[in-house]
Every structure is written in structure tokens, then in C-alpha cells.
Structure 1
């Protein structure tokens, strides 16, 4: 295999032999022992571990081969035989490590010992666990206010660790809980809670087995949730239709060959996924949903006028919803030419989608971060839900709402109380169960945390997993803010960029991975996770730990709490982590939906938490599901004008060798990219209009009102099937372009899917001059 960068069209299906080859290559590249390869057979099993990748649910959590290509890569990355210990850090200073790529850093292997930064030598050095906890406790207890500490949580943290974490931090005295939800599906929670009374999806996999229409908005499941393709494939095979709404033409939404279907693989077959593919402009989803609703209302009026049966579910609307009259008037006032302009689709194409919706008896709508990372994300989500309410497609079999979340337990963490704006009833329950008065003031989210560190109000940053310095927007501002801290601490399995963007004092605390045996005083332990459809199940590792010096996440939290709170807390922290059933008993005391937690979760496959909106119980301000009226407007602010410059809208993307900020390789098979990350996908006509050619390198500059110049340099132009005026490029390489104060209304997720930018021919000399002053991670 050549290491030379190459971009050429990919003509095969998603999945197939390419997926199997990729898994094999990754197992070899990570030096996974032969027996480690068998680890894959225990992924998502009742007696095995949960995939450390995405949160897509499993069929009964009991299918021997229920794993996907990217899940296998995640397992290989964790089960690697490579190690990053004290000898590695003695050899490499932080300054030297900062010059390596993010891919190289994580590719070095598993962290083995707790490490502390020594400013005198510029190296991380081994430190005893007790000394590490004492250091953190001393710094926390020396703060003028608990609100000067910030506690971040990634979506890989288990329910047990997340519960202990929020309990410790609230006993310490703050609600500063920024988490990865703030950067992805926060608009889903905000919009759904207001509209249907619960911030989660209403469907299960059983509904996918019965739906005859599945609409996929702003999502590329072939790369981000490959196991979802299997579900879509099965739906198509039994006659259901899948409608894809996406600016880029994505292979995973077109054709899929299931690597676990021996017959299909033998015959090199594949299944068409999308019955129709609607290539709207970036940010056009709100207008498309509004146009589909307008079509439905017009057709319903025609049917009623002709004396035929109505197309709306009048009984459902009357009994279960409110606000319909005002909403209908708002939609009827929309003009088709506005909807065409804003969506990038013709009236006939929007009506075509509306017709297909009307033909469905049972419909599901799905969406991903292509919806949530826009300025009007909440309004767009509520418009999609409005569409579903028209015909009662919520709270009945085969129909419902499905926000497809990312990391494996991001939904569970929020359920456990990882939230900067906790409900008073939840805090009251913590008070009654644990005998302390929790803080009531709201804490900071991700944007607020960066601002606090920047302004000197945030002095200690503690991260339970993740890669905060790289995952967040406005990389230069974020990294400068982290360097302002007195102490930064990261719980991690592998080295990443955030460990090198450190405060005055810094610690790396290595933890067990999902695949590893967690041995506590009470014996081997399992943790629980909640998938994106509210199924809760156990996950127990089978591999020996990468190092005898690793601690589990619950143990790290418990020992830190003990060191920090001491006699101020009556919680028996170390006793709780001797047996995680004890932690689950405490969870059951706080959350009614977790009653008999241990009895239910120890059943193979776990249990479903339930969903009030799925039962047509509406815990909203009005006691009903709400039609939410939103005036038509551009999805984001109008594109700024630059003299003699074409302004494009940039959306950030994942490659197929990537999960969040973790890079498994430098390829993006389905888009035809090999050995290159700095790529910008553009319409061929736009490339020609700029006087450029595919293969040229360009610099990308974002445009914002604050006057700050945000530029990434040296990106290869690649022709791609994407609407004119729209371009795409990978994150985190393009995260430096996202201004910190550009975020979703009412939800504050970064607007990473709609960035106004200009392209200029790459100037290597200028890039070298800038690189002398700004870290390479910032300027690309």
C-alpha cells in the first residue's frame, strides 16, 4: 500500500469486502495479539463488552457478529499491544510531541502510568496515584470558589462513573458540567423537551422493523453509525422506503453490502438504501421540512374540499396536541419561491418528498449533527417534529422520532445528571438521598467553560475522557484558554493533543478501557451504558488491562472524591467501587425509572428505560405535544459579501477512518481519499469558476464579525457531488475556523455545519511565517 496522497472516485458499495479488508489492516497495524482479535466476538454480547464507538443500539444485545467496521477499529485501537509509558515521555518532551500530528499521537498506544508535567524539564514524569489525587485535591480545595473548577465529561463514560462524578462535583459545590452533548445533540434535547416533554427519541429497533418510511436528515450513517445501515438495509428488503436529505452524495446512503451476509458477499451483491436522494443546500433542512408540511396541508385541504377523507390525523391533533391553528397559519403564509431559495431544491422536489410522506402509514424521522450544528438547529428539529405530528407518527408502533446520537454513552451520561442546568427536582432528590445541599446556580457549558478559562474565572480543568482542545470550536481561542489554567487533568486511555495543551500544572490519569477486565475488591465488575434508543445494558471487559497501574473510571472518581472532600462527605466512596452493584443501588434511589436497576440490568440484553412521549404522555408546559411555529428565515445569517471573492458555506465532516477526533487512519474510502486529511470537497463548476483545478492546494479563511482572522492552510481541492456554493472538509482540521460565539440559538452548539468561508490559492511562504507564531494544530 502506497503512502502517497491520492484522491479518486470510489465506485463500490458501503461495507462489503472493503470493510473486511479495513478491519484486517487495522488489527495488523495496531499489533493486536491473535487472541485479541477474538475480542471482536465479545463485542455487544450479554457476557461481553459494549462497543466503545457509537451509541446505535444492538439487536437484543446478543448477536455474535453485531459489530461494524468502525466499531472493530475502535476495539483494535483499544486492544493494541503498543504502550505509552514513562520511558516514552522521558524520550519525548511536550514541545517535541506537540509537533507531531494528532494521528501519530494516538497511534503510539495505550497509556500505562499516571503522569505529571514537570515545567523544569518540559516532560511528563511518572507520579504515584496517591500523589496525583493529593495534588488535584489541594488545588481544588485552594480555589476561592468551587465554580472556578470545570469538570468535562465525554460520551464514553459509563453510567456508574458518570453518577459518581456528578455526585462528587455537586458535593464539592458546582454545576460546571460541560460535556460532549453541548457540541452535538444539545438542540435535540432543547427542542424535544419543549415540544414533546422528553429530550430523547421515541423509537426502538422494533419500530424500524415496522416502519414503511424512514427519513434521514443531516446524517451519514455509512461512516458515523455503520450498524444503522444494516437496519436500513433490512427495512428496504421488506419494502420500506428510505428518503435521504443530505448536501453531499454519500455512498453509505446509496448502496450497502453487509459484510456479515455471506451470500451477498459471495456474489458481490449490495442493496440500494435511499429510494430518493434530496441534495439540499447546506442549512436547507428547515425549508425542506416546512415545504413538506405546506404540501401536506394543501393536499389535505383539497381532499376535504372534494368531500374525501382528510389526510391529517384529526383525532390525534385534537386529543394530543395544541398550537395547530397558529402553526398552520404560519405555514400557509410561506411562499414557494422562498422555500426553493432557502432549501436549494425545486418546489417539485419538495412536493415529491411530501407525497412520499403522505403515502406512509408508519414513518420515522432520523437526524444527526448535520441538523444540530446550525444556528437555527432547534427550530429545524421542531419543524421535523411538526411534520410527524400532522399524521400522528409519534407514540405508535413503527413510527416516531430518532435523533441519532454519537458516542457510546453520551445519552446515559445526561440521564445520570451530567448537565450544567440540573432540574430542581433532581437536586432535591440528591439532597434527600445523600444528605447535602446541592448547588442550585447553573454551571457552564462548553462555550461557557472556554470563556471562563479565557477570562481567568476557570482555574482548574478536569476532563473525564475526550480530546477537549481539539474537539471544540475556535481552536486558537480554546487552546489559549486551557493554557491559562492553574491545573489541567485528563482521564484517558491514549495520548492526545489535549494532554499537550496544558495548564501551569498538568496530570494525565490512565484508565481501563471498555474491553478490559475491571477487577475490584468484589471481583470482576461490569458497567452499564444507555444507547440512543434508551436501552440500558451491562458491559464487562475480557482482556487483561494494558498495565497493572490502570484504574477504572469509577475508582478514579471515588479516590478523587475521598481525597478532596474527606470528612465533609458522608458518602462511602471507596466502599461503593468495591462492587458496582452498590453504585447501581444508589442510582435506583435517585431515579425512579431505574427502580430495581440491578435486577433488570443483569438480565441478558438489559432493559428499556421507557419514554413518556412514546406512550403519548406529554410532559410539556401545556400537557400536550406542541406544534411550534417558526418564521421562515435563512438557516444561518446571510453570507457576508467580500469584494471580488466568492463566499462559500463550509460544512465539517468525518472521514471513514475516524470516530469523533480519533483517527484510525488517513483514508476516507467512500469519498475516494487516501493518505490525506487536508481535503476540501467542492462542486467541479465552482472549482473552475475560481480558476483553479482539482488537486490544487488552497487556504480556507472563515468570515466573522469580530475581525479575527481564522485560517487553515494547504487543503487539496477535490471535485465532489455537492451543490454549488457548498463545500465540505474534515474536522478537527477545520475546527479553527468556527468562531467561539457562533452557535445554535438556545442550545449553544457550535455552527460547525455552516461556516462562511473564502478560498485562496495556497501560499507556502505565508503559511511558514504564520506557523512560527501559532501552533501547527491551529493553522493546520
Structure 2
């Protein structure tokens, strides 16, 4: 582990630092040659889809695109390390529980299905048939199928997700918590009633045509590095790039493309943002509303600002929005945004003078109480000048995991549309359950209440990714059975039910051999491109099964006696699964033929055609008041004599979702540690503390339940006063289960009211990076 230090980074994102990081990642996993060869097949027509983020590859058939994040994901999956039965024989679950999240995943690829043995407090090997029989026994013994919960990670392929939702619905429930519930659920919840689709309308070609790109609540340098290539190209041709973020993020400032020989040789770089506005945490709503108010004022001054023809032909609700904007107070907008009125007007003028505008956003928007309303405000801004459904313009929610959007397309949703259920009934000959199921937060509550008894996870790290950590752990431990399909060991496997299984699966980079030969799977990226993925590495163990095979064999074991679906026949050749997908979803007509074409195909997006599948058959303007009654507002009102901060949780640069690749956050200057909290220098002084002091973080909530995360180092940082930032999952215990986005249910992890108190450091404190979440 690197020495612990704070040494602020002065270089650009990417560049030689990224290359060194890639080299270290490959060497660390003992695959310097194999890893490099594997990487050359990422996102290629005859290769595999990157298991990292959902940012698209241009035409999915281009030359290799360097991505530090993708390299780490591929290296972690293609590692030579093995978490085999011998590892579990050495450690009790109690011992594993005391290990850090980094240590758990660093043990390497799982090789055998494992079952928990309560007598020894260890996992021991089990045969696949016995594992499926155990799960089927529990599922079929439940008095009601709705007592079972089926979680889905965004890494599951379309084929696996389709079979999964089919099995679970034929079993009898719509309990489908998934990673969408924890990240971009508000995007769909806001966009569907506004545009008639829950997805972004733009493609990569639109980034070549945009005159301005507005980026809200997103850090592409860490979370979607390949996006920086598009932003770099846009900047070079003169597009305005406007970023709104409480933190100064290096990836939004400057970027050195590792594939640009001149830039690398000269240590040069390209600016990214032409304008950077550091608003307060959660201030995006007020900023966007202020921008729209400015546009109206310019119209009142005699300028032609709004696209009146578009508004009249394609939208509804503008009059109500207009009245609401005119009544809004500039003082409220300034106070709640954290920006000066002149800054808001400056941003609005950039938008006003740009013929075509794309608006991008990430979880810095979606993980707030008022995220749905904020997204609809961004949609309002685009609609005012007709920036939806034409070249170079449109909304662009940038999703995280590689197939999180595809999983939802395949039907992984606790609120299934009636049309989907009707089609499943017609194609497969069973009556699907019609009642809505539990999402992520309500699933946790159901387990706490004793209603959820079996928890099955198709990928992911539920125990680490979810809010209110210790309540979530309590919930999982109350289950009769917990099952996790996974490639590597993680926190969720040691926070288990009374009985527990770990089922190891193939990774995206590995050859999937079935009875019909080598199989490929499909995924859908953030821009609705569907493409085929083939692994190239030998499986980490001959014991591994593919995700489709695991789902099909479980279905056969559980409901095979009453199901008309030929589960085992379907997985002999995945083209058969795709034929069934085509039979259920009209947009997948000729699926197998279309996906065989290099680059795949794009699913239809009606909003990009200005066809509005909304209740009014028009795009909708939505008026919302500025949020002035958030948890932070209420906490400050209750504790007038106490300094209450608003904390946002974030990733380090050496992390993807809950996977910790290392203990460095290069761009923020943090090395060898993770328990740090970023804070304005003046706020440190106001607390009577100094940079480097240790503090405990406590949530301010009104339910009487203590939530705390102890021993974090203060790091003076360029962040607005009154705001803090710290890494998750270490800070997930601070997020109350009840703190969710209105009308979406997503945990509001980016706006937690907290206080800081001094921490008494023991004389021989453990290394911060070695402290487990517990």
C-alpha cells in the first residue's frame, strides 16, 4: 500500500498518470501480457463489451480507445488470483467480515459454488445441482412468492436479464430491486412524463454537432473517462462546455489524451470546461430555474429567445411554467444555488447564444430528494429553445454500469408496464403478477419487517451499495436464505442470511461455451446502442456457469414442473433467447440479424423523432417550486447553534461503484487512504480545527436513530462552504433509509445533513486504508 499523504494534483486528467495507473493495475493482477491482449479486444466487433461504464464506443467498431477505468475493470476480472475453497477454509466468516472491502475483492476470482456452514462459520464447496435444489426448496416453501426478493446488477447481459425477469414473474412476483433504483431511477421518473421516454435522446454524433454541452452533477474523469474524448473534441472545435459541480474536478478542467502522441510527448493537454460554476450541493435546481427566468427576461426586453413555433406545436404546460418563473425571487435562487445572480445569468446567456445544446447529468443530480423535479427543470430548459429531437441537442443522462439501461429495457422493473405483462402472457402462456413489487429501499424495509425471507442477487454488492448500512445488514441477516451470483468476493457475501450461497459466474471477458457452441451476449449502452459481446479468455475455473445458465437452471429446478418455458433448451444457443426477446419487444425485430452487424443497432427513441408518447401526446413543461424544505434546511432550523453541513458521497479515482481498486484518489491528491472528508479551509477554522485533524461524522435526522461514521481526516479542499464530500461505501451508514428522492425512491446520498465532532485518535491507530467498513 502506498504511503498515506495528501499531495494535490497539478496535472491534467489522463496523460502519463493514467498510463502509469494502467501499468500498475495490470502488474498487480499478474497479467501484464494477457491483460494487454485482452484490452485490445474491448468494445470490438469480435470482442467483448467493456464491463465498466455504460458510455458508448463510437460505432462500437473503432480502434482501441484508452480508458483507465475500463482497464482496471478488465484487469480485475482477468486476474490470475483465485478465491478458491482453500481460501474459505482458512477464514471464518467472522474473520472475513473484519477485512476491508479492498481486501475481500483483491483475493481474486471465485472458483466454486459455496454454501455457508453455520457449525464452522465458514463457506464450504457445494455441487451446482445441490445449490439449485436448496434455493428451489426455500422459494417453493414460501407461503407467498412476494416474500422473495430478486436483485439485479447493471452488469447482467440482456439475455440474462430477460431470462431472470421471465423466471421471477413466472415464479410469481415483481420484486425487482436493482441498481437503477440507486442511481438513475429519477431520470426515468422525470423524463417519461415529460418526453415519453425514460432514456436520453442523443447519440455520439450529436456531440459532434452541439454548440454547447452543459454538464450537471457529473465527474466523467473518474466515472466515464471515455466521455472526455468527446468533450475534448467538442472543445477543440469551439463548443462551449459548461460544468456545474460543487467540487473542482480535474477531469472537467483539463485532459491529456493518452492516444495523442503530440500531447503526450509535449506534456500538453486540452481544456475541457469553458465555464465552471461551483454551486452548493443540491443547488442545480435553483440554477436551472434562474437560467430560465433570465431567458424570459431577455424575451421581455425584445429579444427572440424562445422557440415559439416548437413550443406551440410540440409542448404543453408552458403558460404555467412561465407564470411560475415570473413569480420566482432572484434572492431565493441565489441563496439556494450558491451562485451569484451574475453567474446564473452568464450561464443562461451561453445557453441562449448556442443554437444546439446537450444537457448531461449524473448521480450528482439523481441522488437528491428533489431529483425528479430537477431533471424536469433541465428538460424545461431544453424545451424552451427546441433542444430536443434535433441534431446536436437533447437530454443525456449518463448512466453507470455497463448494462443498467439494458436491464430495464429487458423488463427488470418493479413497476412493469401492462403492455409488457400482456406480451409475456401471450408469448409464454402464463399469467404474470400485476401488482407492483418492491424497489431497493422498500426491499430493505420488507426484510427488516420480516416480510422478505429469501434474497437472491444477480451480481452487485448489495450490502455495500445500499443506504443505512447497519439497518441493511440487519435486514439481510434476518433472511432465511441469501444467494449471490458473482465473480469475486465482496461485502455482501459475509453479510448473509441464516443459510447462504455464493454462486460464481463467468465474466464478460471469458469464453461462454454452451451445447450450441461459443455464445455471445448483448448489452445496451447509455445511448440505446445494442451490440454483441464475446469473451476471449479461458474461464477462471471449469466450475463457472454463465449468468443465463444459472438463471435457466434455477428456473428449471424451481418451476420446471409447471412451466411451459423450455429453460434448458434456451441456453443451448443464446440466439434462441434473443428470438424470445424479439417476440416480446417490438423494437428488437430481427434481433439476431441486426446485432450480428458490426456496431450493432440503435433502439428507436421516439422523443428524438419528436414523437411524444406522453398522456398529452406532447412534450411537457413542469412547474416546480424551489426546494426550501430539504433535510438540510430542516436540520439547520432545528440546530441553530450548531454548524450543520451537507455531505455528498462520492467515488475515489481508484474505485468503480463499490469496487475498490486501490487507495489512491490521484486527481484529488489523496494517496494511501480513504477515510477523508473534503471541507473548505474556512470551515475548518470556524470549527476550531486544523487541516489533517480527525473527526467523526454524525447524521442529523429526526427519527431518533443514531447514524455515524468515525475517524475521518479533514482535508482542506476547493468546495463551497457548508458542504462536505467523502467516499462511499464508508459513508453509506450516514444515509437514512427514509432519505429518498421524491417520486423515485432513490437514496438521497448526495445531500445528507451532518455534523462533525472531534475524534479521539488512539496512540496506535490502525492504517486508515486497512480499516474495514465495520
TM-score, normalised on structure 1?
Answer: 0.97
Partner of 1:564: 558
Partners in 1 of 2:31 and 2:690 — Cα distance?
Answer: 42
- Among 636, 640, 644, the residue aligned to 2:635: 640
SS at match of 2:105: helix
Q: Look up the SS of the partner of 1:640 in the other structure.
A: helix
Task: Call closer, same or farther: CA 1:312–1:766 in 2, change over 3 Å.
Answer: farther
1:140 aligned onto 2:139: yes
The 8 Å contact of residues 375 and 635 in structure 1, kept in 2 or not, is answered as no
1:767/1:584 Cα in 2 relative to 1: closer, same or farther (>3 Å)?
A: farther
Given that 2:729 and 2:773 are in contact with CA atoms closer than 8 Å, whether structure 1 keeps it comes out as no
Which residue in 1 is equivalent to 2:171? 172
Deviation at 1:633, TM superposition (A): 2.4
In structure 2, the residue matched to 1:771 is none
SS of aligned partner of 1:103 = helix
Hey, what does 1:284 align to over in structure 2?
Answer: 283
Query: How big is each residue's C-alpha offset from its partner over 1:631-652, in whole Å with a ceiling of 9 and x where there is no partner?
Result: 1222723141436421100001
SS of residue in 1 equivalent to 2:201: coil
How is 1:62-211 mapped onto 2 (pairs within 5 angstroms)? Answer: 62-211=61-210
Contact 1:43-1:67 at 8 Å conserved across structures: no
Separation in structure 1 between the aligned mates of residue 750 and residue 282 of structure 2, nearest angstrom: 8
Cα root mean square deviation, aligned:
1.5
Displacement of 1:263: 1.4
The Cα offsets for residues 575-599 of structure 1, whole Å up to 9 and x where unpaired, read as 1001100000000000000000000
Provide the residue aligned with 2:418 in structure 1. 424
Of 524, 528, 541, 2:518 maps to 524
SS of corresponding position for 1:226: coil
Alpha-carbon shift at residue 4 of structure 1 (Å): 2.1
Matches within 5 A, 1:326-345: 326-345=320-339
Deviations 1:443-469 (A, max 9, x none): 000011001110110000000000000
1:312 correspondence with 2:309: no
CA offsets per residue over residues 695-753 of structure 1, 9 Å max, x none?
11110001101011111111011010000001100011000000000100000111100
For 2:35 and 2:75, the matched residues in 1 are separated by: 8
Q: Does 1:715 align with 2:709?
A: no
1:382 alignment counterpart: 376
Q: Which residue of 1 aligns with 2:701?
A: 704
Q: CA deviation at 1:63?
A: 2.2
CA deviations on 1:544-584 (whole Å, 9 max, x unpaired) are 00000000000000000000002200111111001100000
Provide the C-alpha distance between the structure 1 equivalents of 2:424 and 2:181, rounded to a whole number of angstroms: 23
Q: Does 1:395 align with 2:389?
A: yes
SS at match of 1:152: strand
Q: Which runs of 5+ in 2 are unaligned?
A: none
Is the counterpart of residue 467 in structure 1 residue 466 in structure 2?
no
The equivalent residue for 1:6 is 5
Q: CA deviation at 1:689?
A: 1.0
Q: Is 2:448 the counterpart of 1:457?
A: no
Give the Cα–Cα distance (whole angstroms) in 2 for the partners of residues 270 and 248 of structure 1: 21
Aligned-residue offset at 1:764: 4.0
Structure 2 distance, partners of 1:69, 1:619, is 39
Unaligned runs of 5+ in 1: 305-309, 769-774
How many angstroms apart in 1 are the aligned matches of 2:764 and 2:49? 43
Distance 1:627 1:69 in 2: 39
The yes-or-no answer on 1:478 pairing with 2:472 is yes
For residues 243-290 of structure 1, the C-alpha deviation after alignment (integer angstroms, 9 at most, x for no partner) is 000000111000000111111111111000000000000010000000
User: The residue matched to 1:704 in structure 2 has which SS?
Assistant: coil
Q: 1:3 & 1:530 partners in 2: Cα distance?
A: 37
Distance 1:428 1:386 in 2: 34
Q: CA deviation at 1:767?
A: 13
- Whether the 8 Å contact between 1:376 and 1:635 is mirrored in structure 2 is no
Provide closer, same or farther for how the CA distance between residues 529 and 67 of structure 1 changes in structure 2, counting only shifts above 3 A. Answer: farther
2:715 alignment partner, SS class: strand
Of residues 668, 675, 679 in structure 2, which corresponds to 1:678?
675
**Greater Cα offset, 550-559 or 626-635:** 626-635
User: C-alpha distance in 1, partners of 2:133/2:2?
Assistant: 46
How far apart are the structure 1 equivalents of 2:9 and 2:749? 26
Which residue pairs with 1:220 in the alignment? 219
Residue 442 (structure 1) aligns with:
436
Matched, 1:604 2:603: no
Q: Provide the rounded CA distance (Å) in 2 between the counterparts of 1:580 and 1:150.
A: 26
In structure 2, the residue matched to 1:307 is none
Give 3-state SS (helix, strand or coil) of 1:299's partner: helix
Contact 1:714 1:762 (8 Å CA) reproduced: yes
**Contact map agreement 2:362 2:398 (CA 8 A) in 1:** yes
Give the Å deviation of 1:66: 1.6
Q: CA–CA distance in 2 between the matches of 1:24 and 1:3?
A: 15
Match of 2:483 in 1: 489
Task: Provide the C-alpha distance between the structure 2 equivalents of 1:118 and 1:372, rounded to a whole number of angstroms.
Answer: 40
* Aligned equivalent of 2:750, options 749, 753, 766: 753
Give the paired residue count: 769
Contact 2:415 2:436 in 1 (8 A): yes
Match of 1:55 in 2: 54
Q: Secondary structure of the equivalent of 2:560?
A: helix
Task: Name the SS for the 1:175 alignment partner.
Answer: coil
Match of 1:653 in 2: 650
Could you say what secondary structure the match of 1:100 adopts? coil
Give the Cα–Cα distance (whole angstroms) in 1 for the partners of residues 763 and 417 of structure 2: 51
1:763-778 equivalent positions in 2, closer than 5 A: 763-764=760-761
**SS in structure 1 of the partner of residue 301 of structure 2:** helix
Contact 1:40 1:67 (C-alpha < 8 Å) held by counterparts: no
How far 1:765 sits from its partner (Å)? 6.5
CA positional deviation for 1:37: 2.2
Quote the residue 1:694 is aligned against: 691
CA contact (8 A) 1:702 1:710 kept: yes
SS of the equivalent of 1:568 reads: coil
Residues 286, 153 of structure 1: alpha-carbon distance in 2 compared, 3 angstrom cutoff: same
Counterpart contact for 2:100–2:773, Cα < 8 Å:
no
Aligned to 1:772: none
Tell me how far apart the structure 2 counterparts of residues 254 and 190 of structure 1 sit (CA, whole Å): 31
Deviations 1:470-507 (A, max 9, x none): 10000010000000000000000000000000000000
Q: Is the 8 A contact 2:66 2:259 kept in 1?
A: no
Alpha-carbon separation, structure 1, partners of 2:346 and 2:230: 24
Post-superposition Cα deviations, 1:413-456, rounded to whole Å, max 9, x if no partner, equal 00000000001111000000000000001100001100111011
Query: Does structure 1 residue 513 correspond to structure 2 residue 507?
Result: yes
Residue 368 (structure 1) aligned with residue 362 (structure 2): yes
Helix, strand or coil at the partner of 1:27: helix
| Further displaced range: 755-764 or 346-355 | 755-764
Cα contact 2:287–2:333 (8 A) shared by 1: yes
SS in 2 for 1:652: strand
- 1:133–1:560: 8 Å Cα contact kept in structure 2? yes
User: What CA deviation, in whole Å up to 9, does each residue of 1:270-328 have, x standing for no partner?
Assistant: 00000000000001000000000000111012125xxxxx2111110000001111110
Instruction: Tell me what 1:273 maps to.
Output: 272
User: Which contiguous aligned blocks of 4+ residues in structure 1 show a shift greater than 3 angstroms?
Assistant: 764-768, 775-779
Shift of residue 33, structure 1, vs aligned partner = 5.2
Aligned CA distance change for structure 1 residues 682 and 105 (closer, same or farther; 3 Å): same
In structure 2, distance between residues paired with 1:120 and 1:478: 24
Q: Is the 8 A contact 2:370 2:627 kept in 1?
A: no
The alpha-carbon deviation at position 25 of structure 1 amounts to 0.2
